[in-house]
Structure 1
Amino acid sequence: MALILVTGASTGLGLATAQDLSDQGHDVVVHARTSNRVPSGDWRGAVAADLSDLDATRALALEVDAFGHFDAVVHNAGALHPPDAARVNTIAPYVLTMLMRPPRRLVYLSSSMHRGGTTDLRGLTDCTASYSDSKLWVTAFALSLADRWPDTAVHAVDPGWVPTRMGGPSASHDLEQGHLTQVRLATQDAAGPRTGGYWHHLTTQRPAPAAADPAFQEALLAALAEVTRVPVREHP
């Protein structure tokens, strides 16, 4: 069985992902923003950290590495509004990825709204980025990492607009369908590319052109390294 970390697992898609993985017999470490939000369950471990705080995110990377070398990490935690959208949706996944030992599989939560994001990275440095911006950037980060880390399967997933705390009660997509792709990609190869896929409900789609643009990816990585003071790990 695999050792898997799921961030933002207190409710919604993160909790559904963690619970499904645990039910399959995997050793799951769940993350929540605060200790009182950690869900009950048969977990391998539970950690708490505010991913909008850079120092807390750095400390979390060291804390979770103590559980062992993860087989997979699902970067599910998200925030809807600035300034936390950039911090939680883009900066925290970058910091955790670069500071933790590289797992065999990495899954990053994107959104169809990434198609409305901008390539103007000033919103990353001052954390004024919109949700769409942050999801374009984390998608571009995932695709760039797939090229740089050939031994790790790296994917971005659009779970759809689902009725979670973030999505709201009027969301029109199926919550059950919203987490199945993450579970599959964290544990086995899906019917598609081994790495570098942009997924929606177990099928691949074309992401926004900017997400796959090597020049934009390089600019994004440089900006992330500068903002976080965490260098890009080119090849683990």
Structure 2
Amino acid sequence: MKLVLVFLLFLLCKASIVSGQHARFTTQGSIEFEKSVNMHAQIKKMINKNNETFYLPAFEQYKKSQPQFKTMKSTLSFSKDKTLYTPVAAEVLSRTFFSELPAANQHSIIYTDLNTSTSTAQKNVYEELFLVTDSTRKINWKLTSETRDIAGYNCRRANALIMDSIYVVAFYTDEIPVSGGPESFTGLPGMILGVALPHENITWFAKIVNDKALPSGTIIAPKKGKVTTSAGLITTLTKALKNWGDYAQSQLKAYLL
């Protein structure tokens, strides 16, 4: 009996060693993300006593003809020290009064150099193209013990506050030891596969992770657009939206994420 137990322990140890030897830590590939926006919640925030005469009927019509959640696809190409986030253009089947809300669209191609903590973002703002070059956003992440599976990867939750008021929930995996993520979300000890902005009613979640080597020249910074910095873009937008009242804040949030 003792010999049988010893033999079983030996097999278990051997299996554990083999499993460890075959554990994969992906450092290059691409990730297919899906952005989801709760349009009903977004539109409700726009309605007030000054505009409800027009907006309420428009909202009721929207609910009859459009789904509550609008989804958009994007791709994050990554190597061990660089990422490139690119929205996937979708066919527009129908347009509504609310379809052009900035939060409900994707405006940016974002290249990030993780070694130098710099980024180059090509942003389409009101039909004008900007090329925003700056350091990556400094995010004070707080790690938690909560975990969940995303696209087959075990992920750990982290929380943060950005732009003074936007609460962020992110899920990252150390099985992809690259400190990147969708849009401009970076700075965790592994790839961010899920982001939720609960109070903004927006999420980004990975659907498929492709861990195959990328062709040479896949991850390159965009080059077109009016060159500026993050501070410069904020100044430009603030001037352009100075007469937009409370609506200006939602516009700024959407374009500066």
Q: TM-score range by the shorter chain?
A: under 0.3
Q: Which has the higher helix share?
A: 1
**Normalization by structure 2: what TM-score?**
0.24
Q: Which has the higher strand share?
A: 2
Higher RCO, 1 or 2 (CA under 8 Å, sep at least 6)? 2
**Normalization by structure 1: what TM-score?**
0.26
